[in-house]
Structures are given as structure tokens and as C-alpha cells.
Amino acid sequence: MVTAEPAEHAGMDAVDHRLPPVTELAVGTLVLIIVGGIDVAARLPQQAALWLPIVLLVAAVVLLIANVVVLSRVQAFAWHTFFLVVRYAVLAYIVIAGMLEFVFVLDGTPGRLLALLTAMLVVFAVDIPLLFGFSVARYQPVDRAD
């Protein structure tokens, strides 16, 4: 199990060294999704070769799952703050991702491409709140009740 000391009592570096690389994994996931999105957009209106964005999406999903797993193994963490931030961030990013999805549907995006873009948006809408929540909670006092 990974543990972390309270941020207010331990040195920041000590806390950082005990936490898994959630930020790095989340940014890696984001980069994969963005590159996949650019590749799709750059080829429109053709959609002949979707293998690259699909590979990037699969890699992003693997990274995201790995991130959730390593974070869930952290025992001493400011989970209350984490979920507080995640809750509001998910709300905001559902609106943003929903807006993009709405535009894709309105534009008559073909089924296969729409499915790919939707999956990318779902990963995006999970990854960013996780990153925000972790970035805030890592510097907050650990929940003793947890």
C-alpha cells in the first residue's frame, strides 16, 4: 500500500515521493487523447484510417485504468477534498464533453467515427477531474477518518 503523511505536517517532497505518479499518468492520458483527436480532425471529412486514433484511445484507457488503480491503493490521502473537487469537475466536464458530442451528432458524424469520438470524450471527462482532484488533494491534510 502507498501511504502519505499529512501535507501540513510532513515536508512537501516527502509527501510527493510517497504518492504514485497520478499527475504524470493523467497528463499522458490527456496527450494520447489530444493526439488522437488531432489525427481524426486532420483527416476529416475522410475517415479511411482510424487505426492510429483507436490505438491511442486504447493506450489512453489503459493508462487511465492504471491511474485509478494506483490512486485507489493510497490509504492516507485527503479523499474528502479529492471527491469534492472531482464532483464539481465532473459536472463541468460533462457539460463541455456533452457540448462537443452534441456538435458531432448535429453534424451527422458517421457511426464508427462518432463511437470513437464519444469514447475519447468519456476518457477526457474522467481523466481531467481525476487530475484536478489529485492535484488539489495531494497538498491537503490527510483524512484521519479514512
Partner 1 sequence: MVNDAAVATPTRFSDADAPLPLPAFQIVPLVGLPIVAVLVALLIVAIVGDWLWALNFFHVVAGGLWTGIDLFVGLVIGPILGRLSIPARIEFTVRFMPKMLLIMPTLVTLTLASGWQLQRHLGYLLLSYPQHWWLTASYIVVGVMTVIALGLLEPANLAVLFELKKPRPDPTVIGRLMRRFIYTAGVTGVMQLATLVTMTRIATW
Nearer to partner 1, 1 or 4 (CB): 4
Which residues make beta-bridge pairs with 49? none
In whole angstroms, the minimum distance from the beta carbon of 107 to partner 1 comes to 6
23 binds partner 1 (CB under 8 A): yes
Residue selected from 14, 21, 41, 105 as contacting partner 1 according to rule CB under 8 A = 41
Beta bridge partners of 60: none
Q: For partner 1, how many residues bind (rule: CB under 8 A)? A: 37
Name the residue type at position 93.
Answer: Y
The separation between the first and the last C-alpha atoms of the chain, rounded to the nearest angstrom, is 14
- How far lies 11's CA from each of 5, 7, 16, 103, 145, in Å? 9, 7, 9, 47, 22
Q: How far is the CB of 7 from partner 1 (least distance, A)?
A: 7
Residue 25 C-beta: closest distance to partner 1, Å: 11
